[in-house]
A and B are shown apart, each in its own frame.
Chain A
Amino acid sequence: MKFTLHIWRQENARAKGHFETYEIDNISADCSFLEMLDQLNEKLINDKIAHPVCFDNDCREGICGMCGLYINGRPHGNDDGVTTCQLHMRHFHDGDEIWVEPWRAKAFPIIKDLVVDRTAFDKIIQAGGYISATTGGVPDANNILIPKHKADQSMDAAACIGCGACVAACKNASAMLFVGAKVSHLALLPQGKPEAADRVKKMVCKMDELGFGGCTNTYACEAECPKQIKRQNIARLNRCWIAQAFGRDRRED
Chain B
Amino acid sequence: MNLPKIHSITKKLFVALVGGFLLLFLLFHMTANLFILRHDDGQWYSDFCHFMGTNWVVKIFEIGLLGFIALHILLTIWLAVTNRLARPVRYHQPSRSKTHPGSKLMIWTGILIFVCLGLHFYDFYMVKVGVVKGEYMVSVENIGKAMQEQPNAMFDEEVIGFLDKIQKSGQLSMGSDMIHHLTYEDKETLKRLLPGSDPEPDFYYMTREKFSHLHIVIGYLIFFVIIFFHLMHAFPSAFQTLGLNNYKYNPIIEALGKIYTWIIVLGFAAVPILVYLGL
Residue of A nearest to B239 (CB): A235
Write the B74-97 contact mask toward A (1 if CB under 8 angstroms, else 0): 000001001111111111111111
Residue of B nearest to A211 (CB): B86
| Contact between B97 and A214, CB atoms less than 8 A apart | no
Spot the interface stretch: A86-94, A97-105, A122-130, A138-146: A97-105
Partner of A217, one of B92, B98, B100, B246: B100
Question: What's the nearest-Cβ distance from chain B to residue A207, in Å?
Answer: 8
A1 in contact (CB, < 8 A): no
| Contact between A205 and B7, CB atoms less than 8 A apart | yes
Spot the interface stretch: A22-30, A38-46, A55-63, A66-74: A66-74
Neighbouring A residues of B11 by C-beta, 8 Å: 214
A119 in contact (CB, < 8 A): no
**Contact A213/B103 with A220-B98, A223-B97, A235-B246 known, Cβ cut-off 8 Å:** no
| Contact between A217 and B240, CB atoms less than 8 A apart | yes
- Kindly state the separation between the CA atoms of A99 and B144 in the bound complex, as whole angstroms: 80
Partner of B247, one of A215, A218, A232: A232
B233 in contact (CB, < 8 A): yes
Partner of A218, one of B82, B92, B93, B99: B99
- Kindly state the separation between the CA atoms of A238 and B100 in the bound complex, as whole angstroms: 19
Write the B89-127 contact mask toward A (1 if CB under 8 angstroms, else 0): 111111111111001101000000000000000000000
Residue of B nearest to A70 (CB): B91
| Contact between A238 and B91, CB atoms less than 8 A apart | no
Neighbouring B residues of A245 by C-beta, 8 Å: 10
Task: Tally chain B residues at the interface, Cβ within 8 Å.
Answer: 42
Neighbouring B residues of A113 by C-beta, 8 Å: none
Most chain A beta carbons < 10 A, residue from B84, B93, B104, B106:
B93
| Contact between A74 and B247, CB atoms less than 8 A apart | no
Neighbouring B residues of A205 by C-beta, 8 Å: 7
| Contact between B79 and A75, CB atoms less than 8 A apart | no
| Contact between A223 and B98, CB atoms less than 8 A apart | yes
Neighbouring B residues of A220 by C-beta, 8 Å: 95, 97-99
- Considering the complex, which residues of chain A in the window 212-237 have a beta carbon less than 8 Å from any beta carbon of chain B? 212-220, 223-224, 231-232, 234-237
- Kindly state the separation between the CA atoms of A78 and B84 in the bound complex, as whole angstroms: 25
| Contact between A238 and B242, CB atoms less than 8 A apart | yes
Most chain A beta carbons < 10 A, residue from B11, B79, B99:
B99
Neighbouring A residues of B233 by C-beta, 8 Å: 217
- Kindly state the separation between the CA atoms of A245 and B104 in the bound complex, as whole angstroms: 29
Question: What's the nearest-Cβ distance from chain B to residue A92, in Å?
Answer: 14
Partner of B245, one of A72, A78, A172, A235: A235
Apart from the given pairs A73-B95, A169-B97, A215-B9, 15 other A-B contacts in the complex at a CB distance below 8 Å:
A70-B91, A72-B96, A107-B86, A169-B95, A172-B87, A173-B87, A207-B8, A208-B8, A216-B79, A216-B103, A218-B103, A219-B98, A220-B98, A232-B247, A242-B13
Sort A-B residue pairs by CB-CB distance and give the 3 closest, nearest first.
A239-B243, A213-B86, A172-B83
